Amino acid sequence: MSRADRTAPERARSPVYGYSYLPVRGDLIDRLAHAWQSRFTLSVSPAATMLAFADWAVHLANAPGKQAELVDKALRKSMRLLVHMASSGLDPDAPPCITPLPADRRFVDADWRAFPFSLYAQSFLLLQQWVHNATTDIPGIARENARIVPFVTRQMLDVLAPSNHPLTNPEVVRAAYANSGMNFVQGARNCLEDAMRLMTGRRPVGLDAFQVGRNVAVTAGQVVFRNELMELIQYAPATGTVHTEPVLIVPAWIMKYYILDLSPENSLVRFLVESGFTVFIISWRNPGTEFRDVGLDDYRRLGPMAALDAIAAICGGRLVHACGYCLGGTLLAVTAAAMARDDDQRLATVTLLAAQTDFTEAGELMLFINESQVAYLEDAMWDAGYLDIDQMAGAFQMLRSNDLIWSRIVRQYLLGERSPVNDLMAWNADGTRLPYRMHSEYMRHLLLDNDLAEGRYRVDGRPVAVTDIRTPIFAVATERDHVAPWRSVYKIHLLSDTAVSFVLTGGGHNAGIATGRNRPDGIFRRTERDADARYVDPDTWLATTPAEPGSWWTAWADWLARHSTNELPASSILGAPERGYPALCPAPGHYVLEP
């Protein structure tokens, strides 16, 4: 009997007394218990964590050579610290005995090099390095546990970082002296205000300055199609002529679409419109409990496929430049592969923005993906019928806890300062929910089993293969992506048999994609591979591909223009009322405003 089948009540009859009763449903009790637990564990399975540490402890206990190595390292690090202390006493400018990793910004203040704060920082960094040595390279430990243990220990160790405590952080000490301790008073006010806003469901401080339809998501357009899962927005042209092939953008359903239509200077949609393209974008609905049984294929069928049908009617059957971002890119890859299998030739090109088609190297996100974790998360979603944004946000913040959690606590509650808010931060706080069935299928078929890359993912009962896609592909990855690491995105070269233009740009998963066109410090790398070209591994590619100044937006617009046939006079009429696609309401539509 399947897990889903066991949820139906079963009535039994007592052989002794003859009356009917409902037997104890252990699976329901387990699910309710796990759903309750998940509120306190950020939806991370405690069983998976404990099993990982048990695996680590058993193998470390049976590795006397590794133990001896750790003892030797501890003695050496202690000696290095003692020598540094003595050197600092004689010369205040003595070099440190250890330096932070390049991405660690906690100890950049100059006072961290002065006694006693240098002692705090050096001690912590040496301890952090030793703990990393103690939790990595343990012979025999399972691969997934080998990733979990150092990650969890790093999270616990970060709590002890001297930068997080008022008496050991020189910036906080300096602020307290300069303000007679009033920074702590203001920090307490900030903490209380944030707590009140959280309890009352209000947005964090500063985010009210950005309102959808007022100063973000303001590109002019109309909703021209709507179904139960999405609205299709068509944008008004900004040029006298437009390229023949329209652009369809498929955002991830984990986010609201306007990350691609932020403030006018940061709007990719506006940039495309001003570059002479007819642009359509899907605005996903924010699902509630009633969508619990909506599956991943429903998103394909009611999302990009329904949008392509509408665009064919509105634009007269012209080919379409399809673009997918993040999970929307993965969904687009599935859609394009199924269309290629079925000889549906409506796509002119496919663009994948920070989107993975192979999940074997999906970065730190895979820390939360194993059988124990997936089953636990399914139970957490089963109770409500969806995965809430708060549950997802906690996991993503843990991936960058120094930047997203601890630095914020120090800045706002110890220094008493409010960080400036921008449009990207406002969008990031405006999350969406994920239906139970869809997210379960996504985790199991794509993340856990990697069915798409290995040719097992089924659409309409038959497998699809990315290798069937023959339209040119433009793939974009970002250097500091914790969700879709660039080497994972690069695997599109292995999975496809078509021409691939690959771009690596700076920034992270969101900022690297939503970067403005006029960033003075923007750089990117790009190459174009023919369909019959030999494979180049990512490290060689990085070493041999020079960086170019500017924004990848311009390179993409030029690529789209080269793959377009000609230009047509722009029409001010949006939709096609005579074909059953009238303009329903102005952009940004209704679904994006749903809480």
Question: What is the pairing mode between strands 279-284 and 523-529?
Answer: unpaired
Those residues with Cβ within 8 angstroms of residue 6's Cβ, 6 or more apart along the chain or in another chain: 25, 27
Instruction: Give catalytic status of residue 191 as yes or no.
Output: no
- Annotated catalytic residue: which of 97, 315, 323, 326? 326
Q: Is omega for the bond preceding 46 within 30 degrees of 0, making it cis?
A: no
* Torsion of Cα atoms, 81 then 85 then 91 then 92, to 10°: 90
- Considering Cα of 454, then 457, then 460, then 461, what sign does the dihedral take? positive
Within 10 angstroms of residue 533's Cβ, the number of other Cβ atoms is 12
Residue 61: exposed, middle, or buried by beta-carbon count in 10 A (0-12, 13-18, 19+)? exposed
R_g (Cα) of the chain, nearest Å:
27
Task: Give the tokens for residue 589.
Answer: 């539509």
Torsions phi, psi of 249, nearest 5? -105, 130
**Among candidates 163, 94, 90, which has minimal Cα distance to 125?**
163
Helices (H), 263-415: 268-274, 296-300, 306-315, 327-341, 371-384, 389-399, 401, 407-409
406: how many CB neighbours lie within 10 A of its CB? 16
Take residue 565 and report the two structure tokens written for it. Answer: 């046939």
Instruction: Give the three-state DSSP class for 372.
Output: helix
Which residue type sits at 341?
R
Residue 459 per-residue DSSP state: E
Are 487 and 538 contacting, i.e. CB atoms less than 8 angstroms apart? yes
DSSP-assigned beta bridge partners for residue 477: 504
For the chain, how long is the longest CA-to-CA vector?
90
Give dist(CA 458, CA 464) in Å, integer: 6
Cβ atoms within 10 A of the Cβ of 526, count?
Answer: 19
> Which residues are annotated as catalytic?
326
